[in-house]
A and B are shown apart, each in its own frame.
Chain A
Amino acid sequence: GEDVEQSLFLSVREGDSSVINCTYTDSSSTYLYWYKQEPGAGLQLLTYIFSNMDMKQDQRLTVLLNKKDKHLSLRIADTQTGDSAIYFCAETLYNQGGKLIFGQGTELSVKP
């Protein structure tokens, strides 16, 4: 079945690293995504990883994928107050018309 789960809250201090975790259940996932949602705004794609990769780095963002454990993580280095938002993990399934299945989101709070 399709299910994506995330922890609901994370609080860090400015300058620290943040790690947001996600588990998914469908092994046929082709791409996995991290989206960011700021208050009152739509979802914005942060980064994605193809299922045959185990790591992707993009500036302050590092995505790690463990296919065996169906675990995805997003690490934000040098977290800033502007990174405070809700982060959603999502998967897309092969031959499912490109629809994304989202987790419930992790609210990241960055304290100065």
Chain B
Amino acid sequence: DIQMTQSPSSLSASVGDRVTITCRASQSISSYLNWYQQKPGKAPKLLIYAASSLQSGVPSRFSGSGSGTDFTLTISSLQPEDFATYYCQQSYSTPPTFGPGTKVDIK
């Protein structure tokens, strides 16, 4: 199985900050990388698919980049509604695997 890691595991940031979250795969997964946002008590929400494609309806302050083993989710200007946990997930092979998550909270 492909192992996914994320860094940092948590971060504190202020509204307006630029936030970057990193995801790394244990082997090359090309661009088969998705990002999800989850708020407490809620289902995950797809943000980015295929490493850099923005899901319909997701604000453009979210962006994704990377290929191979290293990927990045960037929030260009953090908004109050962005405080949440973010997960990466590889869809290169079965089983699909998720990273452990990065919790973004208010500084």
Partners in one complex: no
Residues of A in contact with B (beta carbons under 8 Å apart): none
Residues of B in contact with A (beta carbons under 8 Å apart): none
